[in-house]
């Protein structure tokens, strides 16, 4: 990644923050995007502490004008865009379909799925403008590969990301732009802390991971940086599962 420019949306905490730091350690200049400016600036300071050059740009990925401005400003600041991790997302309200509100459905889909689509749209345009080449990783989930009771909007959004990833990869393969998705199991992040607030939920989902623990943000970040590097040059249109054995066993929630 030496000398390349990488963008991380949702870079204010968790997997996004760790990925931004690892991009910097790999030699990339890093643009951190998110809605929370204070946390975004903290990530940039960590990027700089890792020896990298970083910039925070505030953006809501569900709004086309903000995503377009994000990519434009990133390219103007560093001259180009070589890699992107479309990581911004929310868990939404976990509830049965019959109790889920239209507002929650719309918000979850707008950020998790429409947001990835908008980022792809403007990232790909920028990469094509540069003459092609580049790598993009979208944040999906193991819940994008299975059904799970009570998480309809989240599951639908992540299934959508996987389909979107495959389509974008096919459309841009001949331009040298590789597009993949990462599908983590449950990772120790602020989002997971909210989901597992109830001890019973924590115990149950932990039991679904044969490895005996939840993942760490840096374990996902390592994979994302690799997928964006030339070492993964033959990989496109794929969904990489990192789940501690979750999908291999019979205990997946449903």
pLDDT tens per residue, range 150-169: 999 999 999 999 999 999 99
Q: How would you classify the pairing of strands 177-184 and 5-9? A: unpaired
Indicate the pTM of the whole model.
0.94
* 231 located within any domain: yes
Which of 154, 186, 205, 214 is flagged as catalytic?
Answer: 154
* 209 located within any domain: no
CA-to-CA distance for 229 and 207, rounded, in angstroms? 34
* Three-point CA angle 114, 165, 15, nearest 5°: 75
- Segment 15-38 shows an average pLDDT of 96
pLDDT tens per residue, range 64-89: 999 999 999 999 999 999 999 999 99
Phi, psi of 155 (to 5 degrees): -65, -45
Q: How would you classify the pairing of strands 54-58 and 83-86? A: unpaired
Confidence class of residue 254 from pLDDT cuts 50, 70 and 90? Answer: low
- Segment 15-44 shows an average pLDDT of 96
* 102 located within any domain: yes
- Segment 38-48 shows an average pLDDT of 95
Told to judge if 154 belongs to the known catalytic residues of this protein, a careful annotator would answer yes
- Return the closest-CA partner of residue 137 out of 174, 178, 170: 178
* 202 located within any domain: no
Give the chain's domain count.
Answer: 1
* 236 located within any domain: yes
* 88 located within any domain: yes
* Residues 236, 173 contacting (CB under 8 angstroms): yes
**CATH number, residue 85:** 3.40.50.720
pLDDT of residue 197: 66
* 249 located within any domain: no
CA-to-CA distance for 165 and 112, rounded, in angstroms? 13
Q: Which domain holds residue 36?
A: 5-188+217-243
* 128 located within any domain: yes
Q: How far is CA 30 from CA 2, 112, 164, 223, 233, in A?
A: 11, 22, 25, 17, 21
């Amino acid at each position: 990644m030496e000398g390349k420019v990488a963008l991380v949306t949702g870079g204010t905490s968790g997997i996004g923050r760790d990925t931004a730091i690892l991009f910097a350690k790999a030699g990339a200049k890093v643009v951190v995007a998110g809605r929370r400016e204070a946390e975004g600036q903290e990530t940039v300071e960590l990027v700089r502490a890792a020896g990298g050059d970083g910039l925070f740009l505030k953006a809501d990925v569900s709004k086309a004008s903000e995503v377009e401005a994000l990519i434009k400003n990133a390219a103007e600041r560093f001259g180009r865009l070589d890699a992107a991790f479309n990581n911004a997302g929310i868990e939404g309200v976990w509830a049965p379909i019959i109790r889920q509100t239209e507002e929650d459905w719309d918000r979850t889909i707008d950020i998790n799925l429409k947001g990835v689509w908008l980022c792809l749209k403007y990232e790909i345009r920028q990469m094509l403008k540069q003459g092609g080449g580049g790598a993009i990783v979208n944040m999906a989930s193991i819940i994008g590969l299975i059904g799970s009771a009570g998480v309809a909007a989240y599951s639908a959004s992540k299934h959508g990301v996987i389909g979107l990833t495959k389509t974008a990869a096919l459309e841009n393969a001949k331009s040298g732009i590789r597009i993949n998705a990462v599908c983590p199991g449950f990772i120790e992040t602020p989002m997971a802390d909210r989901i597992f607030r109830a001890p019973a939920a924590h115990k149950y989902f932990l039991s679904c991971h044969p490895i005996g623990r939840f993942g760490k943000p840096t374990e996902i970040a390592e994979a994302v940086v690799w997928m964006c590097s030339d070492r993964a040059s033959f990989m496109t249109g794929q969904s990489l599962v990192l789940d501690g054995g979750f999908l291999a066993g019979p205990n997946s929630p449903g």
